[in-house]
């Protein structure tokens, strides 16, 4: 059984200075880049997801609730949708990138697909991946959704919390409880900077 690393949404708009910044995001971007550059991870594959919004409907709002609706972010082709510079240097180590949310909210990386339309689940299964580690931004949103969908799809899932950044302590605590209850293994401690 192969193991893969899924790097969730380490994009400019989700880091300090972006349109929906998560404090500590840039630091996690650099830490994830260092993790994969070291090459000591034993992963058969390393993939990343990117929010890639074209017209996500009510997901964009002038009066966001920051649960289902958010300010405009990660618009396809915009600078904010690009990988954060502290992570971009590790891009050459990626085996594939999965784009999500063109016309929907799509928090989970498992809702994403490659540029040629291959869904993440199919891509992983074609390579005999049975276990995934999940890292990225944000612990209490897209990391959580990706991990939960990974379990639903039949993968063994671990979230490496040292390589995640959460929006807020209360929502991160709730997310960690939901992940544990779903059978996701949690390793380390999440970065939450209020």
Exposure on the CB side of residue 28, measured as CA atoms within 13 A: 35
The number of beta carbons lying within 10 Å of the beta carbon of residue 62 is 7
The number of beta carbons lying within 10 Å of the beta carbon of residue 26 is 23
Distance CA 179, CA 194 (A): 22
Catalytic member of 13, 51, 74, 100: 100
Catalytic member of 9, 13, 86, 149: 9
What 8-state DSSP symbol labels residue 88? Answer: H
At 91, list the tokens. Answer: 């891009």
Q: Please choose, from the candidates 148, 147, 143, 168, the residue with its C-alpha nearest in 3D space to the C-alpha of residue 10.
A: 143
Active site residue 12: no
Catalytic member of 15, 142, 144, 149: 142
Active site residue 100: yes
Check: CB of residue 27 under 8 Å from CB of residue 81: no
Active site residue 133: no
Please give the positions annotated as active site. Answer: 9, 100, 142
């Amino acid at each position: 059984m192969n193991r893969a690393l899924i790097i969730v949404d380490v994009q400019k708009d989700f880091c300090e200075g972006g349109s929906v910044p998560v404090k500590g995001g840039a630091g996690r971007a650099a830490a994830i880049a260092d993790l994969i550059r070291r090459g000591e991870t034993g992963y058969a594959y390393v993939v990343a997801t990117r929010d890639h919004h074209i017209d996500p409907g009510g997901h964009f709002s002038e009066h966001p609730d920051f649960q289902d609706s958010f300010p405009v972010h990660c618009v396809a082709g915009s600078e904010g949708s690009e990988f954060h510079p502290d992570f971009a240097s590790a891009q050459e180590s990626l085996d594939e990138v999965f784009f999500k949310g063109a016309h929907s909210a799509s928090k989970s990386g498992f809702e994403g697909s490659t540029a040629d339309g291959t869904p993440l689940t199919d891509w992983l299964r074609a390579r005999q991946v049975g276990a995934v580690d999940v890292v990225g931004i944000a612990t209490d949103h897209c990391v959580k959704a990706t991990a939960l969908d990974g379990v639903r799809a039949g993968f063994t899932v671990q979230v490496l919390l040292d390589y995640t950044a959460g929006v807020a302590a209360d929502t991160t605590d709730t997310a960690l409880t939901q992940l544990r209850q779903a059978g996701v293994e949690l390793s380390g401690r999440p970065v939450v900077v209020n």
